Amino acid sequence: MALLDPRRGCIVIRVIYDGPAFAGKTTNLRTLARSLESKLYSGEESDGRTLYFDWVDYMGGLFEGMPIRCQIVSVPGQRILERRRRLLLETSDVVVFVADSRSERLMENVRSFKVLGQVLAPMVPPVGIVVQANKRDLKGAITLDALRDALDRDRLLALTEAVAESGEGVRETFVLAVRLALDRVRELWNRKELPKIEPGIDDGGQLLSAMKATEGENLASLSSLGLGAIERRSPIEAAAPPPPASPPPSGGVPPLPDASVPPGLVWPPVEGRIVVHESTRVMTRIERRESGDWLGFSSEWMLRSPLKGLFFHLEEARAALVSWARWHSAVAERLSQPRCIVLMPEASEVWRLWQIVRRVPTLSDTARELFEQSDDLLLGEGLFKIIDLRLRAERDFVTTGWLGRLGFSSVSVSEAGAPLFAGFSPYSGRSLSTVGSAKFDEDRLIRDELAPLLRGELRIAPHRIPAVLTSLRKVATANRRGHIAKSIQQSLLGS
């Protein structure tokens, strides 16, 4: 429901606290109200249970020079009040999902989170979710990884920890949530879709009346709970640059991107910031390569800043980000996920481009595992699959011009069995539509890349070569790709 209130000259966003009953939503808002020096409005309660919502108003921060007004609203968590909950969720710009860390509450969290996912799925631009693992003080609190796996194994979640009762982690969660909401505002702004209209709902009392009114009616739309009618959409004056961070890089090592990067400097919007938040929490090593690139690693993530990724003018830096983002959009379906690109303020008037990519199992990893396979037949079949994927990837990415080069360690497989590019995307500092060579030479690829790989792996067991080659030939022929096996055999035996 983000909007630009023309009368007050401010941006209005709505941060919704969601989650199962008793997880600590009201406690979060109570703590926030105290630390933000604002007032908590609790619509109506019955025995301390929220019936409608809690509401906190907060004014803080700037977007394009305009103050930001946050409507912080918690939903009722009881299942019986689910309709009220959904109505409120549909007006969110970001959601903090307050999860109860006690193991016995895990299924309640999961059930509630599923509903949240359904409600938010159709919303465009995406509404980010911060999962706050609350009640970390209690014995029997499950680990963050267990919570993450139970909620959604396939999706990257921004996780924070809190003890809402004592206030620990409450503010950190809120700050991250506001940043995700502002990513959404930025996206609306860029699309010239940020409504310029006074908020239909200005305080808790108005929201309560509106909710009660809609419950009396045959409600379908919730426009009255958010914006009222949208009167006009007007393009807004040109963007002013956000202030760069002030501390200069220390000890030569550039600062890693962090989740405080200003809106508009991370792509894709919303999800990109979640990638930054999750990856840089655990980044362990950073080093400079001979090429001049900076590289960072953790067990799950890898991060790179190219040599040409340093900028001294924000407009130039932005243009580079946009052109790189275009490349990513164009090949999105063929890229391993999640990943993001981000422009990190590095010093006064200095920005650095980074990309962050989640490490996924690649063909190299699969090959290494395969060679532990003692059955020659299965090894041959597995090898054919890998080789076939590698060749398809070459055809898809390099021949079409999207990439300059590929290797076994930069190709992974999608669930549907198609090759995905899992490496760092190329950056040349200009428009990136074509960087690859147009010629595809299968024989050269087999000779220069595959044969050495196989030779290296098979060196430990040369006696297996004939059996493996026979098996490989059999599968390849069955797939009408006999020539592949033949050229591998020639490369291997010819050496």
Ligand X SMILES: Nc1nc2c(ncn2[C@@H]2O[C@H](COP(=O)(O)OP(=O)(O)O)[C@@H](O)[C@H]2O)c(=O)[nH]1
Residues 83-142 that bind ligand X (CB under 6 A): 98, 134-135, 137-138
DSSP output for 307-369: GGGEESSHHHHHHHHHHHHHHHHHTGGGB-SSEEEEEEEEETTEEEEEEEEE----HHHHHHH
- Nearer to Mg ion by Cβ, of 80 and 220: the residue is 80
Please report whether residue 165 would count as binding ligand X according to CB under 6 A.
yes
- Closest approach, Cβ 76 to ligand X, in A, equals 8
- Closest approach, Cβ 23 to ligand X, in A, equals 4
CB 124 within 8 A of CB 97: no
Please report whether residue 215 would count as binding ligand X according to CB under 6 A.
no
164 binds, among Mg ion, ligand X, none (CB under 5 to 8 A by kind): ligand X
**Token reading at 170:** 């409450």
| Strand ranges for 375-451 from DSSP E | 411-413, 419-421
Binding mask 145-164 for ligand X (x = CB under 6 A): ------------------xx
CB 387 within 8 A of CB 450: yes
119 binds, among Mg ion, ligand X, none (CB under 5 to 8 A by kind): none
User: Judged by CB under 6 A, which of 1, 11, 26, 311 binds ligand X?
Assistant: 26
- Helices 376-393 and 363-370, packing angle to 10 deg: 170
- Nearer to ligand X by Cβ, of 19 and 43: the residue is 19
- Nearer to ligand X by Cβ, of 162 and 176: the residue is 162
- Closest approach, Cβ 363 to ligand X, in A, equals 45
User: Judged by CB under 6 A, which of 11, 15, 16, 50 binds ligand X?
Assistant: 50
Please report whether residue 26 would count as binding Mg ion according to CB under 5 A.
yes
Q: How many CA atoms lie within 13 A of 385 on its CB side?
A: 16
Q: Which span sits near ligand X by CB under 6 A: 18-26, 206-214, 345-353, 394-402?
A: 18-26
- Nearer to ligand X by Cβ, of 139 and 153: the residue is 139
- Reduce the DSSP state of residue 393 to 3 states and report it: helix
Q: Which span sits near ligand X by CB under 6 A: 25-33, 109-117, 194-202, 331-339?
A: 25-33
On the 0-12 / 13-18 / 19+ scale of CB atoms within 10 A, 198 is middle
- Reduce the DSSP state of residue 94 to 3 states and report it: strand
For 103, which DSSP code?
G
Maximum Cα interatomic distance, the chain, rounded to a whole number of Å = 83
Amino acid (one-letter) located at 111? R
# binding residues, ligand X (CB under 6 A): 18
User: Judged by CB under 6 A, which of 8, 22, 358, 388 binds ligand X?
Assistant: 22
Please report whether residue 214 would count as binding Mg ion according to CB under 5 A.
no
Residue 196 pairs in a beta bridge with 4
Residues 278-337 that bind ligand X (CB under 6 A): none
How far from 350 is each of 259, 289, 305, 309, 313, CA to CA, in Å? 18, 21, 14, 11, 7
Residue 347 pairs in a beta bridge with 350
How many C-beta atoms surround the C-beta of residue 130 within 10 A?
26
110 binds, among Mg ion, ligand X, none (CB under 5 to 8 A by kind): none
- Nearer to Mg ion by Cβ, of 23 and 270: the residue is 23
- Closest approach, Cβ 277 to ligand X, in A, equals 21
Binding mask 458-477 for ligand X (x = CB under 6 A): --------------------
Tell me the C-alpha distance between 57 and 70, whole Å.
Answer: 6
- Closest approach, Cβ 342 to ligand X, in A, equals 32
- Nearer to ligand X by Cβ, of 24 and 380: the residue is 24
Please report whether residue 424 would count as binding ligand X according to CB under 6 A.
no
- Reduce the DSSP state of residue 216 to 3 states and report it: helix
Sites of contact with Mg ion (CB under 5 A): 25-26, 50
Residues near ligand X (CB under 6 A)? 19, 21-27, 50, 77, 98, 134-135, 137-138, 163-165
